[in-house]
């Protein structure tokens, strides 16, 4: 497949055109030397567009790197310093870059939030949470209530640890709302909707007392850790649908 064909493929299920309010420049951010004819043989997937990820993509001989957090965010900027070095790495090695931000958070099939909801085994999963007019989260309920400790174990079955756990709500959790990444400020929406627990990636200092006074359980699972889900699901889908060689580049930040 060529880069242009892969762009058509990704857009067929990621519905990028429905998220015009996203500040990320979703889609092809850097093309290769001939996007209409050059065959893409290997696609790498990662959370972040950064030098470490780019270097690994080159080492792995990837033709395309698909990321959640791209290198361009809808504003003009100078190509100097780290931005210059990042771009030069991709251009010198003819590696294309594809980014998908909010569309990947929100997607019901391969998105971060629906993916986390399915990982938890939630039932009656539905859309939750609005940001800049875009619905991007997911919410649902357990068949039987669970404790917050068990909720963390189910959220990270490979043994990762959440950054913060604030057990300020019910001891037995039945309903959960999820918005991955940096959505601590959206906890208010979970409180207003009456959910027992809210899961996000990272929170600020002010969320502590908000959670305490609102009597809600809050898990900040880590911005990175809650957003490996979507890119991994897209990777699996691409491999199954096309047979292309794929690889995941793991560059955790601890944040």
Query: What is the sign of the dihedral through the CA atoms of 166, 172, 176 and 180?
Result: positive
Asked whether residue 223 is marked as a ligand-binding residue, the answer is yes
Contact 219, 165 (CB under 8 A): yes
Q: Read off φ and ψ for residue 67, nearest 5 degrees.
A: -130, 160
114: part of which helix (H) or strand (E)?
A: helix 112-119
173-182 b/e with 16+ CB inside 10 Å = b?
Answer: bebbbbbbbb
Whole-number Å distance between alpha carbons of 125 and 101? 21
Helix (H, G, I), strand (E, B) or coil at 9: helix
Asked whether residue 209 is marked as a ligand-binding residue, the answer is no
Contact 133, 21 (CB under 8 A): yes
56: part of which helix (H) or strand (E)?
A: helix 51-59
Contact 129, 177 (CB under 8 A): yes
Asked whether residue 48 is marked as a ligand-binding residue, the answer is no
Whole-number Å distance between alpha carbons of 72 and 26? 9
Here the tokens at position 147 are 């404790």
Asked whether residue 39 is marked as a ligand-binding residue, the answer is no
Beta strands 173-178 and 197-200 are parallel
Here the tokens at position 31 are 């093309």
Beta strands 64-69 and 134-146 are unpaired
Binding site members: 68-69, 105, 223, 227
Binding site members for a divalent metal cation: 68-69, 105, 223, 227
């Amino acid at each position: 497949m060529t880069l242009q064909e892969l762009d058509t493929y990704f857009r067929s299920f990621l519905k990028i055109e429905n998220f015009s309010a996203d500040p990320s420049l979703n889609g092809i951010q850097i093309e290769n030397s001939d996007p209409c004819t050059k065959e893409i043989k290997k696609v790498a997937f990662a959370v972040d567009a950064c030098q470490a990820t780019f270097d690994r993509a080159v080492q792995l001989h990837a033709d395309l790197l698909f990321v959640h957090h791209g290198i361009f965010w809808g504003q003009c900027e100078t190509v100097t310093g780290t931005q210059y070095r990042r771009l030069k790495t991709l251009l010198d090695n003819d590696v294309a870059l594809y980014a998908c931000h909010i569309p990947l958070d929100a997607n019901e099939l391969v998105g971060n939030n629906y993916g986390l909801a399915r990982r938890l085994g939630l039932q009656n999963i539905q859309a939750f949470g609005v940001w800049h007019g875009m619905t991007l989260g997911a919410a649902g309920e357990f068949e039987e209530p669970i404790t917050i400790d068990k909720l963390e174990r189910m959220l990270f079955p490979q043994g990762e640890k959440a950054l913060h756990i604030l057990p300020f709500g019910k001891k037995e959790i039945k309903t959960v709302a999820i918005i991955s990444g940096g959505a601590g400020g959206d906890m208010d929406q979970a409180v207003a909707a009456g959910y027992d627990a809210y899961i996000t990636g990272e929170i600020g200092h002010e969320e502590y007392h908000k959670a305490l006074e609102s009597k809600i359980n809050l898990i900040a699972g880590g911005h990175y850790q809650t957003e490996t889900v979507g890119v991994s699901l897209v990777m699996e889908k691409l491999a199954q649908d096309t047979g292309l060689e794929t690889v995941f580049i793991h560059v955790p930040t601890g944040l």
